[in-house]
Amino acid sequence: MESATGWSTDEFKRRGALVLEALGRFVEGSVRGEVPVVTLKPVQAFAESMDLEGLLEEGITTDEGFRAFLRAFLAGATRLHHPAYVAHQIALPHYASALADLISGILNNGMSVYEMGPTAGAIEVAVIDWMLDKVGWQPTGRNRARLPAAGSFPGGGVLTHGGSLANLTALLAARAALAPEAWQQGTSGDLVVLAPATAHYSMARAVATMGMGTDALVEVPSDELGRVLPDGLPATLASVGGEGKRVMALCANACATATGLYDPLQEVGAFCRDHGIWFHVDGAHGASALLHPEKKRRLAGVALADSLVWDAHKLLQTSALCAAVLFRDGRRLLGTFQQNAAYVLEGSREIGHDFIGHQFECTKSPLGLKLFLVLAMAGEEELGRNVGVLWERTRRIHDQIAARPGFQVLCPPESNILCFRYTGEDREQSRVRQELMGEGDFLLTQADMGGKRWLRMTIMNPRTDEDTIRRLLDRIEKVARDQAVTSG
Ligand SMILES: *Cc1c(COP(=O)(O)O)cnc(C)c1O
């Protein structure tokens, strides 16, 4: 049968089978670890190896041509299934999530108004409710038309295209709570946001985007590993108060991107509560520990937050993107995006739920379907178990590195993020990383902490074992020695 896209559904199924076959081979090859984890070539080289200009001109017209393109594309793709992938904080996605991406790719049901995709809309509500429940907040109850208990208000939240947008949304909600007139009149110059220096850069971007200027992001005292020192908060508050500033929000990390360390949420939360300050927890990476019966103790106090950001595409085995911004009091979300969008919002809608008033995006992918299918097909327990496995593995890798002469670790890990370095200057660490990346056998990141540069790994793959790490350390030693010879 012909379809509107010019492809028959038979053609779709046939080419779909080619894609699945190619992806199957890609994953199997990656898992065996016998191929480079990363292939770093200049843009031009990839344009040539994939023949982009030729394909744009001649088109991909045959199955053989499509297969050839897939081969060239996948040959240069970064392999998260590879045991030597210890770099960025992005999930090794469950197949259920990939299938959700495929379903969404065909349906293209947008998530701004209910009628664009009512089943996906109901799923987003269900996923938000599930997350609220994990935090210890009241679900919205919208899926069950359930009334909240007397005197209490249900939580709220929305899925966003990424934690960065979720952080911006949380700060907009905080501003709407303290200075609702700002939506129309602009942000007055007396608002500040308090955060540790280790806050994710999306905080600074959010503050700058809101027209406050990054000077309005005021650093709170932290220990030598960048964790908020609750005892230092009164002095910071007094100091900004003395300058006539009003605190719009205080942000804490759960956990910090660079170090993987958790701020003391209980103490910081209690301070915020006592002073009537909006408490924002950035749990983009580490909130998933809520699923582990033991590891969740690092998040004790998270329920004191007014807002929480939680990415599913980091540690809930969900493909990018799928992030959530959650609110203890769901009413907080209502004033966040006050705007005149009468063409989509007008009239009273009795059926369903429009997201447009609660989110920055207009068209939005049905992000909830991905997490929902992972939850339904892998199970919440399995996701929690995976967090535990990654945390424990990182702990063992820490011990392994700490025991090796010439290597230094920043601190014992509290999550699956670990910083370490090899003898030598900061410059050496970066050069070693570049060299490893160029060889393609290992992929690491780096971070600056305590005035030093560290090599940084995020263990996202349970197949990354101590043997992988031993080979990595051998390699680092050799690269560093060779560099010393050539530069010496
Ligand atoms: C990854 C991360 C973010 C950004 O999330 P994206 O989904 O990549 O936009 C924000 N905060 C923290 C703490 C993170 O680790």
**CA 379 to CA 387: how far, in whole Å?**
13
Q: Smallest Cα–Cα separation from 169: which of 254, 274, 284, 273? A: 284
Confirm or reject: Cβ of 226 under 6 Å from ligand 1: no
CA of 463 to the centre of ligand 1 (A): 24
Confirm or reject: Cβ of 217 under 6 Å from ligand 1: no
Two structure tokens written together for 193: 């946001």
Residue of 201, 203, 262, 285 with the most ligand 1 atoms within 8 Å of its CB, for mutation? 285
Confirm or reject: Cβ of 325 under 6 Å from ligand 1: no
Q: Which atom of ligand 1 is nearest to the CA of 321?
A: 7
Residue 218: helix, strand or coil by DSSP? strand
Confirm or reject: Cβ of 285 under 6 Å from ligand 1: yes
Q: Is the per-residue pLDDT at 488 higher than 70?
A: no
CA of 313 to the centre of ligand 1 (A): 10
Quote the pLDDT of residue 356. Answer: 87
Q: Is the per-residue pLDDT at 142 higher than 50?
A: yes
Q: What is the mean pLDDT of residues 312-327?
A: 97
302 Cβ neighbours under 8 A, 6+ residues apart: 135, 136, 254, 265, 269, 281, 283, 287, 290, 308
Cross-strand pairs, 228 = 222
Residue of 169, 311, 314 with the most ligand 1 atoms within 8 Å of its CB, for mutation? 311
Q: Is the per-residue pLDDT at 92 higher than 70?
A: yes
User: Model confidence at 148, in pLDDT bands (50, 70, 90)?
Assistant: low
Least reliable range by pLDDT among 3-12, 69-78, 131-140, 144-153: 144-153
- 261, 255 contact by CB (below 8 A): yes
Q: What is the mean pLDDT of residues 27-51?
A: 95
127 against 484, higher pLDDT: 127
Quote the mean pLDDT of the chain: 93
Indicate whether this model's pTM tops 0.75.
yes
- 374, 94 contact by CB (below 8 A): yes
Q: What is the mean pLDDT of residues 264-281?
A: 98
Q: Which atom of ligand 1 is nearest to the CA of 89?
A: 1
CA of 200 to the centre of ligand 1 (A): 7
For the segment 219-256, what is each residue's pLDDT rounded down to a tens digit? 999 999 999 999 999 999 999 999 999 999 999 999 99
Confirm or reject: Cβ of 162 under 6 Å from ligand 1: yes
* CA distances to 35, 82, 119, 275, 404 from 479, in Å: 20, 21, 54, 53, 16
The residue whose CA has the least distance to atom 3 of ligand 1 is 163
Q: Which atom of ligand 1 is nearest to the CA of 257?
A: 15
For the segment 161-210, what is each residue's pLDDT rounded down to a tens digit? 999 999 999 999 999 999 999 999 999 999 999 999 999 999 999 999 99
Q: What is the mean pLDDT of residues 363-387?
A: 97
Confirm or reject: Cβ of 323 under 6 Å from ligand 1: yes
Two structure tokens written together for 45: 């080289």
Confirm or reject: Cβ of 163 under 6 Å from ligand 1: yes
Q: Compute CA 270 distance to the chain's CA centroid, rounded to the nearest angstrom.
A: 26
Percentage of residues of the chain with pLDDT beyond 90: 86
Q: Is 348 exposed, middle or buried (0-12, 13-18, 19+ CB in 10 A)?
A: exposed
CA of 461 to the centre of ligand 1 (A): 19
Q: Is the per-residue pLDDT at 30 higher than 80?
A: yes
The residue whose CA has the least distance to atom 2 of ligand 1 is 284
Q: Which atom of ligand 1 is nearest to the CA of 256?
A: 13
Q: Is the per-residue pLDDT at 127 higher than 60?
A: yes
List, as own/partner pairs, every contact residues 177-186 make where C-beta atoms lie below 8 angstroms and the sequence separation is at least 24, other chains included: 177/278, 177/306, 177/332, 177/335, 178/246, 178/248, 178/278, 179/246, 179/248, 180/335, 180/338, 183/335, 183/338, 183/339, 184/338, 186/211
Q: Between β-strands 407-409 and 445-449, what pairing exists: parallel, antiparallel or unpaired?
A: unpaired
Q: What is the DSSP string of 263-316?
A: P-HHHHHHHHHHHT--EEEE-TTGGGGGGSTTGGGGGTTGGG-SEEEEEHHHHS
Two structure tokens written together for 148: 């909240």
- 415, 285 contact by CB (below 8 A): yes
CA of 310 to the centre of ligand 1 (A): 9
Q: Is the per-residue pLDDT at 3 higher than 80?
A: no
Quote the pLDDT of residue 4. Answer: 58
Cross-strand pairs, 404 = none
How does DSSP classify residue 149? P
Task: Please state whether 461 falls in left (phi above 0), alpha (psi between -120 and 50) or beta.
Answer: beta
Q: Which helix (H) or strand (E) holds 194?
A: strand 191-195
Q: Which helix (H) or strand (E) holds 57?
A: helix 52-58
Q: Is 201 exposed, middle or buried (0-12, 13-18, 19+ CB in 10 A)?
A: exposed
**CA 301 to CA 275: how far, in whole Å?**
16
Q: Is the per-residue pLDDT at 343 higher than 80?
A: no
Two structure tokens written together for 327: 């609110």
**CA 441 to CA 84: how far, in whole Å?**
7
Two structure tokens written together for 315: 């540690």
CA of 256 to the centre of ligand 1 (A): 9
Q: Is the per-residue pLDDT at 345 higher than 80?
A: no
Confirm or reject: Cβ of 282 under 6 Å from ligand 1: yes
Task: Please state whether 429 falls in left (phi above 0), alpha (psi between -120 and 50) or beta.
Answer: alpha
The residue whose CA has the least distance to atom 5 of ligand 1 is 163
For the segment 442-480, what is each residue's pLDDT rounded down to a tens digit? 999 999 998 999 999 999 999 999 999 999 999 999 998
Quote the pLDDT of residue 481. Answer: 87
Quote the pLDDT of residue 241. Answer: 96
CA of 314 to the centre of ligand 1 (A): 9
Side-chain half-sphere exposure of 271, counting CA atoms within 13 A: 24
Q: What is the mean pLDDT of residues 271-278?
A: 98
Quote the pLDDT of residue 412. Answer: 98
